[in-house]
């Protein structure tokens, strides 16, 4: 199966962020060599979900507990997939704003009812008291990278692999404490300069999401399958994080023209990628 043309924002948490039962499970999971590499994970996720759902879409099946694993400074960090919850949320989202006839055709009422029960249980007070605040560790965007994600990382944190015989990768990894500071600083700048507009709300929502995780977590922005859409020289020259930083700096010092120029360059670059979807 070909690469999925999507990007990913992930949080890897140390084992101490999980309850004792989960800690035992994830230690055994890693010891048995079951962890899946990020480059293989998206296709595996899609295959697992489609095979489990089947053609009838009449029920929401149990899905395996899988995760990406990262070792940093002798610390084991885990990014669970949370597949069952994510499928349930996707099923409910697919029905939003759609006429009931179409909604029932795509997501049957029986499946929607199960999905609602799973999401409600995930967010229930009993679960929060027992296991802490429920967290979805991975966000996904198709045919591009959401501009707000670049707020959370720095150009110096880039890891680029192009031509050494391994799978192409372009990703950024950083300590969550740094991502949080960048997010809160960006929200402050945006609120003072442009007010409570959608971009401000989006960055603020991302900042709240980051606050859900353990303070020793690691944040990863992964270009995923997008690296297969772009030439090597384009990937090597990509300066999207710099453009976001330049735009925020321009806003902070009142340079509206400079901020607009950086924003327009960034939007034009990623619009070109999004337009490739129509050629797919």
More confident residue, 256 or 134: 256
Instruction: Kindly state the average pLDDT of the residues 62-78.
Output: 86
What distance separates the 2 farthest-apart alpha carbons in the chain? 57
Per-residue confidence (pLDDT) for residue 84, from 0 to 100:
80
Cα(215)–Cα(95) distance, integer angstroms:
35
Per-residue confidence (pLDDT) for residue 55, from 0 to 100:
60
Q: What is the pLDDT of residues 116-134, one digit of tens each?
A: 887 777 676 544 444 555 6
Give residue 31's pLDDT band: very low, low, confident or very high (50, 70, 90). Answer: very high
Cα(58)–Cα(60) distance, integer angstroms:
7
More confident residue, 195 or 91: 195
Average pLDDT score, the chain: 85
Q: Is the dihedral of CA 163, 164, 166, 169 positive or negative?
A: negative
What percent of the chain is predicted at pLDDT more than 90? 52
**Beta strand 169-175 with 218-222: parallel, antiparallel or unpaired?**
antiparallel
What percent of the chain is predicted at pLDDT more than 70? 89
Per-residue confidence (pLDDT) for residue 182, from 0 to 100:
97
Question: What contacts 260, CB < 8 A, 6 or more positions away?
Answer: 250
Q: Looking at 35-39, 70-74, 98-102, 183-187, which range is the least confident one?
A: 98-102
276: left (phi over 0), alpha (psi -120 to 50) or beta: alpha
CA-to-CA dists, residue 15 to 68, 73, 77, 217, angstroms:
13, 14, 6, 10
Per-residue confidence (pLDDT) for residue 49, from 0 to 100:
76
Per-residue confidence (pLDDT) for residue 104, from 0 to 100:
77
Q: Looking at 21-25, 67-71, 88-92, 171-175, which range is the least confident one?
A: 88-92
Q: Is the dihedral of CA 202, 139, 95, 112 positive or negative?
A: negative
Determine the distance from the C-alpha atom of residue 54 to the mean position of all C-alpha atoms in its chain, rounded to a whole number: 26
Per-residue confidence (pLDDT) for residue 126, from 0 to 100:
44
User: What residues does 8 pair with on adjacent strands?
Assistant: 140, 222
Q: What is the pLDDT of residues 34-63, one digit of tens each?
A: 998 888 888 888 887 777 766 656 667 777
Instruction: Kindly state the average pLDDT of the residues 106-125.
Output: 75
**pLDDT of residue 183 exceeding 50:** yes
């Amino acid at each position: 199966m070909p690469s999925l043309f999507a990007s990913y924002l992930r949080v890897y948490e140390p084992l101490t962020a999980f309850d004792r039962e989960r800690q035992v499970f994830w230690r055994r999971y890693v010891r048995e060599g079951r962890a899946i590499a990020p480059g293989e994970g998206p296709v595996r996720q899609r295959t697992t979900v489609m095979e489990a759902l089947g053609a009838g879409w009449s029920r929401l099946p149990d899905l395996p507990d899988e995760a990406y694993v990262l070792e940093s400074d002798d610390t084991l960090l885990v990014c669970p997939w949370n597949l069952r919850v994510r499928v349930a949320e996707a099923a409910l989202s697919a029905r939003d704003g759609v006429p009931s006839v179409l909604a029932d055709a795509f997501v049957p009422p029986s499946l929607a009812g199960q999905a609602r029960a799973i999401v409600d249980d995930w967010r229930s007070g009993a679960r929060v008291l027992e296991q802490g605040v429920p967290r979805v560790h991975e966000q996904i965007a198709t045919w591009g990278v959401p501009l707000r994600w670049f707020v959370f990382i720095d150009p110096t944190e880039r890891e680029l692999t192009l031509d050494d015989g391994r799978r192409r990768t372009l990703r950024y990894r950083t300590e969550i404490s740094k991502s949080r500071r960048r997010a809160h600083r960006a929200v402050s700048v945006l609120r003072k300069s442009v007010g409570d507009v959608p971009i401000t709300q989006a960055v603020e929502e991302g900042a709240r999401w980051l606050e859900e995780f353990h303070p020793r977590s690691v944040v990863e922005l992964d270009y995923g399958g997008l690296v297969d859409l772009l030439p090597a020289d384009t990937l090597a020259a990509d300066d999207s994080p710099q453009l976001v930083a330049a735009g925020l700096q321009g806003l902070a010092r009142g340079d509206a023209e400079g901020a607009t120029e950086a924003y327009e360059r960034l939007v034009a670059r990623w619009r070109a990628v999004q337009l490739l979807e129509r050629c797919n």
